[in-house]
Amino acid sequence: MNDQPGTLNEYNPQAIEKKWQQFWEQHQTYRIHIDPTRPKYYVLDMFPYPSGAGLHVGHPLGYVASDIFSRYKRVLGFNVLHPMGFDSFGLPAEQYAIQTGQHPALTTGQNITRYIEQLKNLGFSYDWNREVRTSDPGYYKWTQWIFEELFKSWYNYKTDRAEPIETLIQEFGHRGNSRVQAACDEDVPTFSAAEWKAMSAEAKYAFTLKYRLTYVAEATVNWCAGLGSVLSNDEVKDGVSERGGFPVEQKLMRQWMMRITAYAQRLLDGLNTIDWTESLKEQQRNWIGRSVGAMVKFGVDQHADKSIEVFTTRVDTIYGVTFMVLAPEHELVSKITTNAQKQEVAEYIESTKKRSERDRMADVKTISGAFTGAYAINPFNEQPVPIYIADYVLAGYGTGAVMAVPSGDQRDWNFAKHFDLPIVPILDGQQNLEKEADATKEGKYINSGIIDGLTYAEATPVLVAWMEERGIGKAKINYRLRDAVFGRQRYWGEPVPVYYKEGENGQPLPYLIPADELPLELPSVNKYLPTETGEPPLGRAEGWKYKSEYAYELSTMPGWAGSSWYWYRYMDPENNQEFASPEAIDYWRDVDLYLGGTEHATGHLLYSRFWNKFLKDRGFVPEDEPFKKLINQGMIQGRSNFVYRVVSEEYSKPVFVSAGLRDQYGTTPLHVDVNIVENDVLDVAKFKASRPDIAGENAEFILEAGKYLCGVEVEKMSKSKLNVVNPDDIVARYGADTLRLYEMFLGPLEQAKPWNTNGIDGTFRFIRKFWRLFYNENGQWLVTDYAPNKDELRVLHKTIKKVQEDTENFSFNTAVSAFMVCVNELGSLKCAKKSILTELVILLSPYAPHVTEELYAALGHEAGTLSSATFPTWQAELMLEDAFEYPIQINGKVRATISFPLDTMPSDIEKEVLANETVQKWMEGKSPKKVIVVPKRIVNVVI
């Protein structure tokens, strides 16, 4: 590879790309507007967090794909919205601020500038006039506004949608709250209309707080002391914070929460209406975790006033219950434990507390628990069963209590064996109960009171009816999904627009900052750390308007707030009156194609769907689902190179052995910078220069075939592993088009793959060859006006067809291959004719918009872009040009062909008759034994 590709007469990407970037900027080529005469198409990339490291080499993968698709849709006549922006609130900028004292807005701004520069270098067709930044006050004004709208709303299960809080207050005034079916706090007492009317205005207000979609609650949260903040479940991995790796503990705190659980069922149902990958939908389904079952109330022996409620998905096994298990944290534990068992129970609770979350997860096999001494009464047969506590029952799921059926559940079975508790079979279909539990639903019930002799399908309704009659249980659907914690004790985020006033009972009540005073701007602080009294950094706020009168909410919103609605802001980014105008929303509606990584499956993508459904309920947006189709680009992993240092007393100087020969020596592998390795061959001179400490002048290298080959391993891309490849370096050397094409060529878009540049020369050669179709060896323009011949048309039409199919399927790697074949074939045909090239450019422009600049002028296109809509016309030409040919195999060998014009699709029978005739002719009248016609392309004949 020449280090300076491109002389004056050669393809010179640096000059071409620079020229066209300036041109696009000047002419605002990619600026788009609402155009009711054309259909819209919205292509969205997941916007990046602008980190200090600059654009990651994995980012362009998805951006290139979405850019290709945007260009493709434009060529087909769509008005394409293709914007970019920045998710610019976040922890790293704040950490940096803590270390350096620099305002996060400053560093964030610098990072964004760099990102934009890099993105523009890559030639994306974004409309930069629509750029958004979540940390701009003009943007987060509307994030705060949505928060306030959520606060002003409640979820009505009767209408199954969110409604303004006024409709709830009205209902309270009419009939109290006994008939209200709402998503609300658990501790809401029932009251009548009269009682409601008797309440003070403030008491009424306090009451509504239990129903609003954002609310304050005492919640167990993931508290990370290292970061001084609360984290969401998806920010915690293996008991430590995802960012920074600090330990995380469970802590009870007053927190802003969002009632996403109100939408659990709709979030589940909506998945059936959208075109996402099955694995992603499955992840969301698991996260929401719907299970259908029943709540059953068990009495407690000696405690007539108490009962234990359990959730079960198998009420039909109720007669097989031989013990109960409570979570150690369950509130009844202390009340029902007998004196004799007190010490054992206390010890057990103590030991579970010591076990970290991590230990509990890692160690699933150890069976432990303690007997409380109390007994529960099975409401169906009045039999007492012992109550245990055990840490395999989770306080956070269901009621924190389970009815244990050892014959049907393996964990219960294990527990029963360990504590020597009875195992009662309840179905005649159950087998091997001595060895393991059998969760079958086959057979008829035995030992089962009112359901004896029934089947599974018959039993459940009988049991539920029996329970409901007596008020001891009911059918119930349970979700794993929890309400989302909405506060972070951090500085660099949207301030929660709330202040507090002390109420009658001395408790502070939250009130919204009036909407016309939004945005509540992030105040400046002298330090980005929590205050001495342990308040969040906003405790240091200076210049807050009402600070002397009221206490402000000091937490900020979580990272996902700003990203949960940003696709609407692109529709109308400058609007200061609304988050986007109804006109813009009505035209652009929803995202037709969304590209991004799978890592957001249970975070961003779930919260966004939640907010969207809320906005829909309140009439602000028209569509129920925000992202119609979603493609996940695979993660780009790092590809590390290694050198092998020989470990031996024999040598006084450092010795490195090539990878293929390392088995013959004892060696230690060392990471080596991938940027001084090409095709896994080490540049020894550069290596020596870069590591004088170990590889200086007198180091020895044991080569194979004259080269030093490096070892390879796929790892996460990181600085310490010396495997980071900066896209800028590639662009500087080969040009953006080569990088773009290469990233597409690397493999299927959705597949995770290690980044390596081993094949990049191939795509560079291709683009150069392509360039040469247009220019002669002196760099002069070659395009002329001759009509193409049949062979040339054939090549073009074949390519157009293939590329269109591949593009529709997001199979860009095969599309690039098809281009390569096309250019090779045209090259040998010496084809350089205007009409052919017109079509070729339409195809190629998504991938290489810079290469063919002269064409814009020569063909009279609007400069710098392509708007020709010739796609529909070529297909007709293709039909006239070509024919289907069916080879006829006789005893496995091709001996003849039959052909059909493309406009007449023969039936299989017609083919068989024709094949028969052809074979007979070929064999001079002999008749074949068997003719098998295969629809696709081959006719087999057996004689």
Partner RNA sequence: GCCGGGGUGGUGGAAUAGGUAGACACGCAGGACUUAAAAUCCUGUGAGCCGCAACGCUCGUACGGGUUCGAUUCCCGUCCCCGGUACCA
Residues 760-789 that bind RNA (CB under 7 A): 761-763, 765-766, 768-769
Cα 216 to Cα 654: distance, rounded to the nearest angstrom: 64
Query: Are 827 and 82 spatial neighbours (Cβ–Cβ below 8 Å)?
Result: no
- To the nearest whole angstrom, how small is the minimum distance from the Cβ of residue 393 to RNA? 4
Of 9, 313, 351, 440, the one binding RNA by CB under 7 A: 313
Of residues 445-484, those binding RNA (CB under 7 A):
478, 480
Stretch 323-342 residues interacting with RNA (CB under 7 A): 327
**The tokens of 316 are what?**
């039909």
Q: What single-letter amino acid sits at 615?
A: L
- Regarding 906 and contact with RNA (CB under 7 A), the answer is no
CB closer to RNA, 10 vs 624: 10
Q: Which of residues 730-749 bind RNA (CB under 7 A)?
A: 745-748
286 part of the interface to RNA, by CB under 7 A: yes
- The site map against RNA for 651-680 (x = CB under 7 A) is ----------------------------x-
Is residue 1 within the footprint of RNA (CB under 7 A)?
Answer: yes
Residue ranges in 496-555 that form contacts with RNA under rule CB under 7 A? none
Q: What are phi and psi for residue 684, nearest 5 degrees? A: -60, -40
Q: Which amino acid is at 411?
A: R
Dihedral of the CA atoms 9, 13, 18, 22 (nearest 10)? 90
Minimum distance from residue 572 beta carbon to RNA (Å) = 35
Q: Does position 311 bind RNA by CB under 7 A?
A: yes
* Shortest distance (Å) from residue 674 CB to RNA: 15
- Give me 908's structure tokens: 């299989």
State the nearest-atom distance from the C-beta of 367 to RNA, in Å: 8
Stretch that binds RNA, among 260-268, 276-284, 426-434, 542-550 (CB under 7 A): 276-284
Contact between 422 and RNA per CB under 7 A = no
Give the tokens for residue 507: 């408790």
Residues 6+ apart with CB under 8 A from 629: 274, 275, 276, 592, 593, 594
Closest CB 158 distance from RNA, rounded Å = 27
CB closer to RNA out of 97 and 427: 427
Stretch that binds RNA, among 148-156, 396-404, 487-495, 650-658 (CB under 7 A): 396-404
> What residue type is 100 in one-letter code?
T
- Strand order, beta sheet including 484-485: 229-231, 214-224, 249-258, 484-485
Q: At what angle do helices 834-844 and 812-829 cross, to 10 degrees?
A: 160
Q: Residue 253 is encoded by which pair of tokens? A: 């705190």
Assess 203 for contact with RNA (CB under 7 A). no
* 861 is an interface residue for RNA by CB under 7 A: no
Residue of 15, 203, 252, 361 interacting with RNA (CB under 7 A): 361
Our finding on whether 102 is near RNA (CB under 7 A) is no
* Site for RNA contains 282 (CB under 7 A): yes
The residue range among 141-149, 583-591, 816-824, 872-880 that interacts with RNA, by the rule CB under 7 A, is: 816-824
Helix (H, G, I), strand (E, B) or coil at 537: helix
By CB under 7 A, name the one of 50, 398, 493, 497 that touches RNA: 398
Q: 110 with 100: CB under 8 angstroms?
A: no
Contact criterion met (CB below 8 Å) for 685 and 692: no
- Identify which range of 125-133, 162-170, 402-410, 719-727 contacts RNA by CB under 7 A: 402-410
Give which of 564, 498, 587, 493 is closest to 263, Cα–Cα. Answer: 564
Using the minimum distance from each CB to RNA, give the nearer residue, 135 or 241: 241
| Residue 141 backbone phi and psi in degrees, to 5 | -50, -40
| Whole-number Cα distances in Å, 202 to 173, 184, 215, 598 | 15, 19, 16, 46
Distance between CA atoms of residues 166 and 154, nearest Å: 9
Q: Is the dihedral of CA 324, 326, 332, 334 positive or negative?
A: positive
- In angstroms, give the least distance from the CB of 871 to RNA: 21
Closer to RNA by Cβ: residue 515 or 938 = 938
Give residue 604's identity as a one-letter amino acid code: H
| 203 vs 942, beta carbon nearer RNA | 942
857 binds RNA (CB under 7 A): no
We find the least distance from the C-beta atom of residue 7 to RNA, in angstroms, to be 9
Span near RNA by CB under 7 A; candidates 44-52, 95-103, 356-364, 645-653: 356-364
Closest distance to RNA from the beta carbon of 535 (Å): 31
Residue type at 439 in one-letter notation: A
Which residue in the block uniquely carries the two structure tokens 């961003």? 604
Q: Which of 82, 212, 613, 753 binds RNA (CB under 7 A)?
A: 753
Q: Which two tokens stand for residue 679?
A: 């095709």
Distance CA 84, CA 132 (A): 7
Residue 852 CB coordination number (10 Å): 22
80 scored as a contact of RNA (CB under 7 A): no
Cis peptide before 519 (omega within 30 of 0): yes
**Pairing mode, strands 627-632 and 591-596:** parallel
Contact 929, 943 (CB under 8 A): yes
172/718 Cα distance (integer angstroms): 58
Give the β-pairing of 636-646 and 753-754.
Answer: parallel
Closer residue to RNA (CB): 585 or 659: 659
CB of 376 to RNA, least distance (A): 14
* Interface pick for RNA out of 814, 835, 865, 868 (rule CB under 7 A): 814
Tell me which H or E stretch contains 301: none
Binding-site size, RNA (CB under 7 A): 74
Burial, 210: exposed, middle or buried (Cβ in 10 Å; 0-12, 13-18, 19+)? Answer: middle
Nearest to RNA of 394, 880 (CB atom): 394
Nearer Cβ to RNA (355/545):
355
Sole residue written with tokens 């119930």? 476
Taking the least distance from each CB to RNA, the nearer of 609 and 616 is: 609
C-alpha closest to that of 32 among 133, 121, 132, 126: 126
Question: Smallest distance from the beta carbon of 388 to RNA, in angstroms?
Answer: 12
Tell the smallest beta-carbon distance from residue 753 to RNA (Å). Answer: 5
C-alpha torsion 463→465→471→476, nearest 10: 80
Four-point Cα dihedral 479, 483, 484, 488, nearest 10 = -140
Closer to RNA at the Cβ: 40 or 600? 600
Q: Does 883 bind RNA (CB under 7 A)?
A: no
Binding mask 700-719 for RNA (x = CB under 7 A): -----x--------------
x/- contact string, 547-586, with RNA (CB under 7 A)? ----------------------------------------
Distance of CA 724 to the CA centre of its chain: 24
Ranges within 589-608 binding RNA (CB under 7 A): 598-599, 601-602
Q: Is 289 in the site for RNA (CB under 7 A)?
A: yes
State which of residues 205, 392, 511, 884 lies at the interface with RNA (CB under 7 A): 392
CB of 286 to RNA, least distance (A): 6
794 binds RNA (CB under 7 A): no
Q: Applying CB under 7 A, does 220 fall inside the site for RNA?
A: no
CB atoms within 10 A of CB 541: 18
Q: How far is the CB of 76 from RNA (least distance, A)?
A: 22
**Contacting residue, 250, 338, 524, 758, with RNA by CB under 7 A:** 758
Q: How far is the CB of 746 from RNA (least distance, A)?
A: 5
What one-character DSSP code corresponds to residue 757? Answer: -
Q: For residue 482, with 0-12 CB atoms within 10 Å meaning exposed, 13-18 middle and 19 or more buried, which class applies?
A: middle
Query: Which residue of 200, 648, 824, 875 would you call a contact of RNA, by CB under 7 A?
Result: 824
